[in-house]
Amino acid sequence: MPGLQAALTAVKAFQAKRFAGTYADLLTSQEYAGAARFFLDDLYSDKDYSLRDAQFARIAGALQRLFPHQVVDTAVTLAQLHVLTEELDHQMALAWRTCAAAPGSDSVGDAARRYAGCWLTVGRESDRNRQLNMVLGIGAELDRLTRTHGLRMMLRMMRRPAMAAGLGALQSFLEAGFDTFARMSGKGERAQVFLDTIRERESGWIRRLFTPTAAANEAALRTCLAQTTE
């Protein structure tokens, strides 16, 4: 569909910038920068995940055979999250194409207004909350896995089989997630603080964007984008 890919790229880029603005403090924090960067790069990114899409298409048959049983549920949830995210982003892109720029608006204000309007057009509040809960669930599982004895060694041993099976992107995600949460000190306490911060701020954005006050939503998004570290 003409213009759809450009709209999808614009939506994803806006969301990544919004996340960077919302968590500017964490992205520059000594304790939480790694975890915030991992979430931005792997769960809220505007990267092209076509390779990972193809891998997810054959994920079910390979997981039980190849990966340690401790990580199977996490990988399955990641696949489900990715499907839901792509579906919501696709609907946002369709709405974005029909939302014309406001006369005389600056680029940041126009993007904020368009995004807030598209969000209300798409709706699906329960799916937005489900999306957030899946993200938090993945984070909690990755934190739990760091306390599973011998799992890091098992993941390292999986590199060659995963690559041979065409699941290298999934392997990289699991290893990066494991190492990111393992570096947070406090035996889970720091990870819980991090995930609670994500829950509080993201649920706040969901509530705010589903409030049909366009001017207030646009202003909040503009303020957030002004804080971006990108």
Higher-confidence residue: 214 or 121?
Answer: 121
The pLDDT value given to residue 52: 60
53 within some domain: yes
Is residue 218 pLDDT above 50, yes or no?
yes
The pLDDT value given to residue 214: 65
136 within some domain: yes
The four Cα atoms 144, 188, 32, 11 give a dihedral, to 10 degrees, of 40
**C-alpha–C-alpha distance, residues 27 and 29, integer Å:** 6
95 within some domain: no
1 within some domain: no
Higher-confidence residue: 227 or 136?
Answer: 136
What DSSP state is assigned to residue 171? H
Q: H/E element holding 80?
A: helix 69-98
Q: Return the closest-CA partner of residue 134 out of 210, 174, 176, 82.
A: 82
CB 209 within 8 A of CB 116: yes
78 within some domain: yes
Instruction: Read off the pLDDT of residues 54-113 as tens digits, 9 standing for 90 and up.
Output: 655 555 556 656 666 667 777 778 778 888 888 999 999 999 988 755 544 557 678 888
- Give how many domains the chain has, as a whole number: 1
Q: 61: domain range?
A: 36-86+122-213
Q: What pTM did the predictor assign?
A: 0.81
